[in-house]
Structure 1
Amino acid sequence: MKVILIRHTESIGNKQKVYAGKTDFDLTETGLLQMKKVVTQLAKMIDSTSNYTLYSSPLRRCTALSEEIELFTGATKKIESRLHETNFGVFEGKSYADLLKEMPEIVEKWNEDLLNFQIPNGESLKQCAERVNVFVREMTAINEDIIVVTHGGIMKLLLLNFLHLDLNQFWKFYTGNGCIIEIEYNDGFGFLKNIIQHN
């Protein structure tokens, strides 16, 4: 089973350096340029005879890229709500500096338990991981080659899951805008084949 994970390219939220989970930000000019580079790189990686199923987060910053991928793969994207970025609740649209000014007590509790603390009106990282885990179990049961267009945090959770790594390893990976990660997964064993950064 071949797995290609792709993070969306630069969005307005990324440029503003704010927490952007459920907020449906558009891409920046840089993001549109990055998207062309990602598609060009992906076209080099995929064999013309390959048959990938394409999954995408429902947010525009992901569907824009998945629609470009549709054009050269011939695959029709499947919108998958479990690939949605972490719901940052009251943190949405705010920078870390904003949070320290506006809600320092909540930030302190969050930093004390980054895995389990549920952001008010949002999710904990563990809750987010649980929905991603269900998605991966379904994909490995189907055992087909897949391309997944998603978000930075979700991409890391997918990577951990396919490689059978603990959630505590979440912060040991960097997934920049337009990042492509290639994984081989067979008979319950996954290995990291390639990481390509585009920023």
Structure 2
Amino acid sequence: MRFFLVRHGQTTANVSGVFYGSTDLSLSPQGIGQSRRVAGYLSGVSFGRTIVSQLQRSQQTARLVVPAGAELHVDSRLNELDFGEWEMRHFSDIEKESPASWQRWMDDWQNATPDGGEAFSHFAARVRQAADETGKQRENTDTLIVAHQGVLSLMLATWLGMPVEAMWHFPFGHDAYTVVDNQAGFWVLRVFNGRSVWQTEE
């Protein structure tokens, strides 16, 4: 079984460098162009299943990659972390206005919670549950997953048997795709941030 992981195309928030996860932004013109490039790279792949988060930037990207009319399977567990009161704010402003909360996050991000947001432990649990269930699919088909940086990096670390903190080793590009094979429960990373036309192995 083969999985193609694609991070949604860029939004205006990605450019401005603010925290955002649950804020439901659409793709920027640049993000649309990035997604179309990924579509070109993967044009030779016939996806048997496409899984996306609830957020429009993920679904919009998927619609640009898969053929028109293809069904999207929405899984809310693939939503990005909800940063609560930190949404759409720059870290420098959070540090200045909520220094104690910011310091807790910097000191222990795995156990801290953004003000009014989602605990990282809850985020990690739902993403790992989705990764485990998706990885156990029995269909011998190519599956496309379009989601977010935090989700995809944690999903990949889970499949590769790595600890949660290993997610920081996988910076997914907005204009690229990643390929992971599940060979009878043994996971193999084939491509990371590929930016060329995918050639199916014979």
Q: TM-score, normalised by structure 1?
A: 0.90
Gaps of 5+ in 2: 196-202
Determine if contact 2:84/2:115 at 8 Å carries over to the other structure: yes
1:126 aligns with 2:121: yes
Deviation of 1:29 after TM superposition, in Å, equals: 1.5
**Candidates 146, 149, 155, aligned match of 1:149:** 146
1:70 aligns with 2:63: no
Determine if contact 1:70/1:77 at 8 Å carries over to the other structure: no
Match of 1:189 in 2: 186
Pairing of 1:12-27 with structure 2 (within 5 A) = 12-27=12-27
Deviation of 1:34 after TM superposition, in Å, equals: 0.9
SS in 1 for 2:190: strand
Alignment-mate amino acid for residue 9 of structure 2: T
Match of 1:80 in 2: 75
CA distance in 2, matches of 1:79, 1:106: 33
Deviation of 1:196 after TM superposition, in Å, equals: 2.2
CA distance in 1, matches of 2:119, 2:111: 5
CA distance in 2, matches of 1:95, 1:154: 21
Match of 1:3 in 2: 3
CA distance in 2, matches of 1:7, 1:196: 10
The aligned length equals 193
Deviations 1:32-91 (A, max 9, x none): 1111101101114x2xxx44210011111111111123316x641111111100111121
CA distance in 2, matches of 1:197, 1:19: 26
Whose helix proportion is higher, 1 or 2?
A: 1
Determine if contact 2:3/2:179 at 8 Å carries over to the other structure: yes
Alignment-mate amino acid for residue 158 of structure 2: N
CA distance in 1, matches of 2:176, 2:114: 27
CA distance in 2, matches of 1:61, 1:51: 20
Deviation of 1:181 after TM superposition, in Å, equals: 1.0
CA distance in 2, matches of 1:143, 1:94: 42
Determine if contact 1:175/1:197 at 8 Å carries over to the other structure: no
1:38 aligns with 2:38: yes
CA distance in 1, matches of 2:129, 2:103: 30
Give the alignment's Cα RMSD to 1 decimal: 1.7
Deviations 1:123-142 (A, max 9, x none): 23322111011112221222
Q: TM-score, normalised by structure 2?
A: 0.89
Deviations 1:170-195 (A, max 9, x none): 21221122331100112222111001
Alignment-mate amino acid for residue 18 of structure 1: V
Deviation of 1:197 after TM superposition, in Å, equals: 5.6
CA distance in 1, matches of 2:194, 2:15: 17
Identity %: 28
